[in-house]
């Protein structure tokens, strides 16, 4: 248990940093389709087959750990995020990194360095002005304006609801009709199909943004959970429960991807890692409580699904009210100035 806990801590760390790293290095128009195409869903198709071959948890853990070596090797050929280097005042390192990236992509020409030096000169002056006093950012800075308070609370409670829904349904899949392995594989395939469809729509349709993705996925999940609850309330049982569960979990995969994308695009570089960390931490809280939900089925089988419906409805309302569209935004580097904050020294 100690070793698995340590592995979980570092796996969680990778999950947080890799999303931020990806967003800071990929062009705006390519963020969503890349994240959607290469995500958890393809693995969920293969994972049941790997689990069936391994036969026990110990062997499967070794296989998963060995496969992560490929990720480590891939990281060796990547450049550090230039945006992060600029934020830390390491301007010359950022310059070299950007030139190497440009040459690797075969997009380098003589005018690029001149344009780059002009941009970096401006950033160096900004850093010189702001670094008179060393800044240490904490989770408190995610709540430094009224607007950021509303957005941070929306993300934190929303991801808790999403995780609670997904893992409550997944931990209960063994009670569904059909094979657990096939149900998981079908779920992975349906998630990937949805991901690809969303990727194409996001790339081709300028008006199809992150907020709309969330809202469509939430409406579909609400419909699936409502149908299951009503079905059970009237005493029916059968294949519809399995279909509704697979549909709900498949649509929730978009909530994870779109929510994390919005977090990365909405918060400035100074606190972007902190924001993703806060959201990821709260997602773990949702997964901690999710195994307990279906104990409510001892009273009535429809009650757990009604609870999940209520959680999804809350998430839909607060996201629609408090979060802006973030598709195509230019990433910010700095927090709002002190005179706009609700705490700290005012100028």
Lookup: tokens for 81: 């995020």
Long-range contacts of 240-248 (CB under 8 A, 24+ apart): 241/176, 241/177, 242/176, 242/177, 242/178, 242/183, 245/169, 245/172, 245/173, 245/176, 246/183, 246/186, 246/187, 246/190, 247/190, 247/220, 247/221, 248/165, 248/169, 248/220, 248/221, 248/224, 248/308
Please write the tens of the pLDDT for every residue from 1-17: 898 888 888 888 887 78
Query: In the predicted model, is pLDDT for residue 205 greater than 80?
Result: yes
Please write the tens of the pLDDT for every residue from 328-338: 888 887 788 88
pLDDT average, residue stretch 163-171? 91
Please write the tens of the pLDDT for every residue from 251-275: 888 898 899 999 989 999 888 889 9
Confidence (pTM): 0.78
With residues binned 3-state (H G I as helix, E B as strand, rest as coil), the percentages for the chain, rounded to 5, are 80, 0, 20
Which of 74-78, 236-240, 278-282 comes out lowest in average pLDDT?
236-240
Cα-based angle 179, 199, 49 (whole degrees, multiple of 5): 25
Average pLDDT over the chain reads 86
Please write the tens of the pLDDT for every residue from 226-238: 999 999 998 887 7
Which pLDDT score, from 0 to 100, does residue 346 have? 47
Under a CB-based contact definition with an 8 Å cutoff, are residues 155 and 263 in contact?
Answer: yes
Under a CB-based contact definition with an 8 Å cutoff, are residues 185 and 48 in contact?
Answer: yes
Lookup: tokens for 269: 């570089």
Query: In the predicted model, is pLDDT for residue 181 greater than 80?
Result: no
127 or 227, higher pLDDT: 227
Which pLDDT score, from 0 to 100, does residue 154 have? 96
């Amino acid at each position: 248990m100690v070793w698995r806990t340590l592995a979980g801590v570092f796996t969680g760390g990778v999950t947080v940093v890799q999303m931020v790293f990806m967003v800071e290095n990929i062009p705006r128009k390519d963020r969503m389709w890349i994240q959607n195409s290469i995500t958890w869903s393809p693995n969920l198709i293969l994972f049941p087959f790997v689990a069936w071959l391994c036969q026990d948890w110990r062997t499967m853990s070794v296989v998963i750990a060995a496969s992560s070596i490929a990720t480590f090797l891939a990281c060796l050929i990547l450049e550090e995020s230039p945006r992060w280097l600029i934020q830390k005042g390491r301007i010359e390192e950022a310059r070299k990194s950007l030139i190497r990236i440009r040459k690797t992509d075969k997009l380098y020409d003589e005018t690029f360095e001149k344009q780059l030096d002009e941009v970096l000169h401006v950033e160096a002056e900004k850093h010189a002005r702001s670094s008179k006093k060393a800044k240490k950012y904490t989770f408190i800075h995610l709540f430094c304006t009224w607007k950021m308070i509303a957005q941070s609370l929306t993300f934190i409670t929303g991801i808790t609801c999403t995780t609670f829904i997904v893992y409550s349904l997944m931990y209960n899949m063994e009670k569904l009709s059909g094979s657990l392995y096939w149900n998981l594989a079908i779920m992975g395939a349906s998630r990937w199909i949805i991901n690809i469809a969303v990727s194409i729509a996001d790339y081709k349709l300028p008006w199809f943004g992150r907020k709309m993705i969330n809202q469509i996925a939430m409406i579909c999940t609400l419909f699936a959970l409502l149908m299951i609850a009503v079905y059970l309330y009237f005493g029916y049982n059968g294949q519809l429960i399995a279909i509704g569960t697979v549909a709900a979990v498949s649509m929730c995969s978009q909530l994870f991807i779109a929510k994390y994308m919005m977090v990365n695009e909405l918060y400035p570089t100074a606190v972007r890692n902190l924001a993703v960390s806060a959201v990821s931490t709260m997602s773990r809280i949702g997964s901690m409580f999710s195994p307990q939900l279906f104990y409510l089925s001892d009273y009535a089988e429809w009650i757990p699904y009604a609870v999940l419906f209520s959680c999804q409805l809350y998430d839909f309302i607060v996201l629609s009210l408090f979060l802006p569209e973030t598709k195509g935004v230019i990433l910010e580097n700095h927090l709002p100035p002190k005179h706009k904050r609700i705490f700290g020294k005012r100028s």
